[in-house]
Amino acid sequence: MRKFNLKALLLLSCGHVAVDTFQGALPAVLPFLKENLGLSYTMAGAILILANISSSVIQPLFGSLSDRKNTYYLLPLGAVLAGAGFCALPLASNFLMVALLAVTSGIGISAFHPAGFKTARLFTGEKMASGMSIFSVGGNAGMALGPFLALSIIHYRGFSSLWWMSAITFLFVSSIVIFRSTVALPPQTPPSTCKENKIGSKSARRALIVIIGFIMLRTWTMYCLMTYIPFYYINYLRDNPVFAGKLVSLFLLGGAAGTLVGSPLADRLGHRFWLRFSMFCDVVLFPPILWAQGVLLFVLVALFGFMLVSTFPITIVMGQNLFPRSTGVASGFMSGFAIGAGGIGVTVLGLFADHFGVPSAMKCIWALPVAAFFLTLMLRYPIAENLTSDLSAA
């Protein structure tokens, strides 16, 4: 029986912090790229969608590779590509160069995640959602650190100093070296004793479609806020860039806290219940964000992120339970394809912002958690009661 291994999960989580710092920082630096290169909101959205496609939609391909052979090397390799693409953005002189660098960084992010989630599952034991939350919170923390770190460097040292963030890649590679030298790595190939869930059944297919749809809407909400909070406070209200960075980082830090708190509750109360409860809370919390100021604004943004992102490791586990013998592919679909497809909504919102303005675009975001909540009401989760014990005994 595989046991819960906190040390291994923490080390993997440290690597997750480093990689997702670059992913979180990209939306925050778009206003500066837009101003420096004379881009439109639509072009800025296109850059983000290219980054999302390369960092998310192709993850099932890397997941399939990790299901066939040991691919631990993808962890440090992915970090190097992610950091190199992002840190070279100040060298870009036109839209095509920015897009190419964003795609390069995205490919590195895409290479890391399926192998990371699959490796993390090997150390979760019976507490699948709780264990996955420890690995996932590293990504949440990295996404939260990215905007604040990038905007702080730009504010105090200038846009050309973004290369300082390359130090994060070095820290990540160091953590992987520590991981390989201190933790015994189990085989990545699923054991033959693991019972396969009947993913071909109609109920299972429906559950998978609903979960992917939920992730798309959740990600659309998350990326729209990450992108348009900086546009709203920097370009529209002409506020301090650091203030906008603090808001985005607080939103994502709230999500990191929600990941740690929500997953143990979901293990106790039920995964499907927590998806419904968290999204209902976000439906209620979003409207006041549009008029709140001061401390109340920070509290509401943090609470919204807390509930929204808390479901991330839960949907990963639900997808892996539907594909217990192909957890790499499952992780790629849950963390990659669905997330990247959801990010397409940012480009759609960019078209809306170009025609009707950023404030109107911000108001439209509320429709996304509303749609996600109603989608959870359709979810039927066809996992056998003994599946968890079967997997943990494998």
Phi-psi sector, 115: left (phi>0), alpha (psi -120 to 50), beta: alpha
pLDDT of 16: 86
pLDDT of 306: 93
pLDDT of 148: 83
pLDDT of 201: 64
Q: Is 343 part of a structural domain of the chain?
A: yes
Q: Is 188 helix (H, G, I), strand (E, B) or coil?
A: coil
pLDDT of 195: 45
* CATH for 133: 1.20.1250.20
- In the DSSP assignment, the letter for residue 323 is S
111, 78 contact by CB (below 8 A): yes
Q: Which domain holds residue 19?
A: 6-393
Mean pLDDT of 65-94: 83
Distance of CA 11 to the CA centre of its chain: 18
Within 10 angstroms of residue 387's Cβ, the number of other Cβ atoms is 16
Number of domains in the chain: 1
Q: What CA–CA distance (Å, rounded) separates 79 from 83?
A: 6
- Mean of the per-residue pLDDT values of the chain: 80
Q: How confident is the model at residue 56 (pLDDT cuts 50, 70, 90)?
A: confident
Q: Is 19 part of a structural domain of the chain?
A: yes
56, 110 contact by CB (below 8 A): yes
Give Rg (Cα) of the chain. Answer: 20
What pLDDT digit, counting tens, does each position of 190-239 carry? 443 344 444 456 777 788 888 988 988 998 898 888 877 777 766 665 56
Q: Is 316 part of a structural domain of the chain?
A: yes
State the DSSP string of 214-272: HHHHHHHHHHHHHHHHHIIIIIIS---HHHHHHHHHHHHHHHHHHHHHHHHHHHHH-HH
Q: How far is CA 206 from CA 9, 243, 302, 313, 351, in A?
A: 31, 43, 33, 20, 32
Q: Is 1 part of a structural domain of the chain?
A: no
What pLDDT digit, counting tens, does each position of 306-343 carry? 999 899 888 988 887 777 767 777 777 777 776 666 66
pLDDT of 79: 85
Q: Is 187 exposed, middle or buried (0-12, 13-18, 19+ CB in 10 A)?
A: exposed
Q: Is 66 part of a structural domain of the chain?
A: yes
Q: Is 284 part of a structural domain of the chain?
A: yes
Q: Give which of 22, 80, 17 is closest to 51, Cα–Cα.
A: 22
Joined together, the tokens standing for residue 44 give 């800025």
What pLDDT digit, counting tens, does each position of 4-26 carry? 778 788 878 888 888 889 988 88
65, 71 contact by CB (below 8 A): yes
Residue with tokens 């998978």: 208
pLDDT of 47: 87
Helix extents (H) in the chain: 6-37, 41-52, 59-68, 74-87, 95-121, 128-157, 167-182, 202-230, 241-269, 271-289, 294-309, 312-322, 327-332, 338-356, 358-364, 367-376, 387-393
What pLDDT digit, counting tens, does each position of 104-156 carry? 999 999 888 888 888 888 787 777 778 888 888 888 788 778 888 888 898 88
Q: Is 255 part of a structural domain of the chain?
A: yes
Q: Is 57 part of a structural domain of the chain?
A: yes
Q: What CA–CA distance (Å, rounded) separates 95 from 47?
A: 8
What pLDDT digit, counting tens, does each position of 264-312 carry? 888 888 888 999 999 999 999 999 988 878 889 889 999 999 999 899 8
